Amino acid sequence: MIFIGMIVGLIILVGLVFWLASKNIFFTFVKEGTAKNVMKAGEFNRTLMRWRGYGLDNDWNVVNQSKGRFVWGRIFGGLYFYGLSPFYKIDTYYFQWTGVKENGELQPHPKEKLDYIILKDDVYWAKIENAEDSKLLNLTVEIFFTIRVVNPHKARFNVQNWLETVINRSKPAVRDAITTADYENLIKKTDAIGTIVYQRIRERGLFAEFKERYGIEIRKIETRKIDPPPEYRGITLREYIATQEKKKITIEAEAQAIRLASIAKGAGKALEEASPEERKKAVEKAYSRQQSIDGDAFLKIEAGGGNLDNGLAKLIGLLKFPWPPQKRQQKTAKKVRVPGGTRELSEEERKRLKIP
């Protein structure tokens, strides 16, 4: 009975410890790749960390485990005893950020109360507005920052909000990178923009400052997208529609030209095989129709972008008569028939009869 009582008591004790740890009372759980800061009467006491292969040095920097210091309180796994309440407690704070899912979609995290700090590499999204390109067009740029916390003590107590500070101090570098080209060229090289931003931040000495002052290391910067203002989108959309309409008209015109050329070619072949009388009638009919349309005295045959060398035009050469057909001139009478023969009219008689 005593043995059974001890087993029951041990189970109750373990259950109680786990329950207290879930409430951060005396005990706490530290998940893999995270750290928790322990406060003693409102003052920083130590940092508890659980990350296989890593430890903390005397300045609470994350280092290889072989160089790390011993931090007391670990029972097993991620279970730690940190001290007696109310003298000791786990530090908590409010934090808000937008992360990225594995499929690339944004994953907003509303402001929530946290008792831990993520140490592993994580991707954070940021939006920079009013970034002008080389033509002074206001753009909105979305950036992905891959960041790792290398000193949980500095990240928590040396700055009010380390993520907000890093993003705000990086914005001038992003705007500087955007001014290197206009929007049309920027969207063609979004991958390169991230590299340029990274170089600009390094040139400003911010990487070293972030790490030394805030315990933050920027590992990578990528451009998610670059958006113009809404009115610019409307202009480009109208230009696109106009361009597509122009292409459509051009294609239809070219198809019509090819069709007409084919018809004219067939007509020319048919006329070549026709009899001389049929050819003459066809040309005279075409000429009459042309004159009824434009009231002129010539026949112009075209297909596509140039004059048609076959068809009716070729038929004119086959018929070997001048084109256009000459108008019949009015005959002029200079002689009149008289008994016994003819005689010439005098000038006065021609004028009276209106004969030129």
Q: What pLDDT is stored for residue 248 in this prediction?
A: 78
Dist. CA 163–CA 142, nearest whole Å: 15
Q: What pLDDT is stored for residue 208 in this prediction?
A: 94
Give CA separation, 186 vs 102, 126, 231, in Å.
26, 18, 18
At 284, list the tokens.
């005279």
Q: What pLDDT is stored for residue 191 in this prediction?
A: 82
Q: What is the DSSP string of 178-194?
A: HTTS-HHHHTT-HHHHH
Q: What pLDDT is stored for residue 189 in this prediction?
A: 83
At 353, list the tokens.
């009869």
Dist. CA 296–CA 324, nearest whole Å: 11
Q: What pLDDT is stored for residue 250 in this prediction?
A: 82
pTM over 0.75: no
Return residue ranges of the chain for CATH 3.30.479.30: 93-228
Q: What pLDDT is stored for residue 305 in this prediction?
A: 45
DSSP-derived secondary structure letter, 99: E
CB 69 within 8 A of CB 58: yes
Range list of H helices, the chain: 2-22, 152-157, 162-178, 183-186, 190-203, 206-209, 230-272, 276-294, 312-319, 347-352
Q: What pLDDT is stored for residue 253 in this prediction?
A: 76
Report the chain (356 residues): mean pLDDT per 10 consecutive residues. 79 91 94 96 94 92 82 88 92 95 90 95 94 89 96 96 95 92 85 90 94 96 89 63 75 74 61 63 62 51 46 50 50 53 66 63
Q: Does domain 93-228 have CATH number 3.40.390.10?
A: no
